[in-house]
A and B are shown apart, each in its own frame.
Chain A
Amino acid sequence: MPKVSVEDLKTGMKLAKPLSRGNMVLLGEGTVLNETWIARIGDMGIDGIFVDGPSEQPIPKQEAIRQLDERFRNVLSEPYMERIKKIVKEHIEGLYV
């Protein structure tokens, strides 16, 4: 579920989260954006909204895996840590397909 900045919104995108201000829901989850909605959202002065679809990752996959190796470098010989790392690695790889 990527967060898309207001400039990059396109008609046909679907809200992955309700858009609310304070406690008031303005557009419900699943709303399909048309030009009117996009213009109104543009007037609200927010930086972006969540739409359906795979998330765009902030860093490339290789870098994400390098950082993962780095985080685990001191504990791999400890019980269960190798298994935890493997599961997290599979999860991270899954974010890039």
Chain B
Amino acid sequence: MSDKIDIRMLRSNVESINALPTVPSTLRRISIMMEKQSIGLEELGRLISNDPALTAKILRMINSAAYGFPGRISSVSHATMLLGLSVIKGLLIGVSVFELMEKTMIGLWEHSLGCTVVARMIAQKKGLKEPEEVSVCGLLHDIGKAVLMLQYADVYNKAMQEAEKTGITIHEAEAGYFMATHAEVGHWLVQKWHFPMHLVETIRYHHRPNLSKQSPMETAIVHVADVLVRAKGVGYPGDLVVPSVHPAAWEMLDLSENDIGDILRNLEDATSSARETI
């Protein structure tokens, strides 16, 4: 198709997200702040603490069943110490993206929350040192969809309708309309916000986990989490079908039937209660 949206134009539009009048103000503010290379944990903590609404949202999220962070965290300074810079940055984007997702694609937030829970559980089962880091990757993996929907609502709606009609995935449908998919779009964004490599890679390669060089384990986890959440039919990620799992990623994680049953039960509980918490 020759009228696909050009990749350079797409990238420049995505990267100038702050200039969009339709971007929720919290996201704009956080985005501008994160573009600064040097933002530190202390500055970030102060910024959150000075904003009561943001503080409440972050604490509610950390303490909700979906995240399962250790113990009860009651202050931003405690949270920043316990979870570290990249998790806090991810959660900040997460709470502000919530508003955006709710506005653009009903059900995308629930899908993302589902992936957050499942990614954390797989990370724990595989003994990863920082399961919270992986759960944030699950939370943000589809951020590109929300941004594409915000900027190209008409075209994206067409892609979703096509996916629904023909039974292909939204990822496949996107390729007919854009020269890049939501995975690249998300990757541009988190790169612009100076997120750590594992987050950049999981977002970029969550549909092609075999391409991840730096974080193959984390990327495999988010890929499999996405498949399992769709298999259970939690939320709406833009289509109604389950994509096939990448065999190498599946084998790398080597989950038993018991593991998966356990994950599905937790997914059930966390997503039903998470609707309440945000």
Tell me, in angstroms, the Cα distance from A35 to B97 when the chains sit together: 40
Q: How far is the CA of A91 from the CA of B63 in the complex (A)?
A: 27
Given known contacts A73-B167, A85-B231, is B264 in contact with A1 (CB within 8 Å)?
no
Q: Is B74 an interface residue (CB 8 A)?
A: yes
- Against B, the Cβ 8 Å flags (1 = close, 0 = not) of A59-90 are 00000100110111111001111001101101
Q: Is B244 within 8 A of A78, CB to CB?
A: yes
For residue A84, which residues in chain B have a CB less than 8 angstroms away from its CB? 227-228, 231, 242, 245, 260
- A1-B272, A3-B272, A67-B233 known; A74 vs B59 contact (CB < 8 Å): no
The answer to whether B257 touches A87, judged by C-beta atoms less than 8 angstroms apart, is yes
A88 cross-chain contacts in B, Cβ below 8 A: 228, 231-232, 264
* A81 to B272 alpha-carbon distance, docked (Å): 26
Judge whether B56 and A22 touch: CB under 8 Å: yes
Q: Find the A residue at minimum CB distance from B231.
A: A88
Count of interface residues, chain B, beta-carbon cutoff 8 Å = 32
Chain A contact-residue range equals 20 to 34
Query: Does A39 reach chain B (CB closer than 8 Å)?
Result: no
- With contact pairs A3-B272, A75-B244 given, residues A91 and B261 touching in the complex (Cβ less than 8 Å): yes
Q: Does B269 interact with chain A (Cβ within 8 Å)?
A: yes
Q: Which residues of A contact B (CB under 8 A)?
A: 1, 3, 17, 22-23, 50, 55, 64, 67-68, 70-75, 78-81, 84-85, 87-88, 90-92, 95
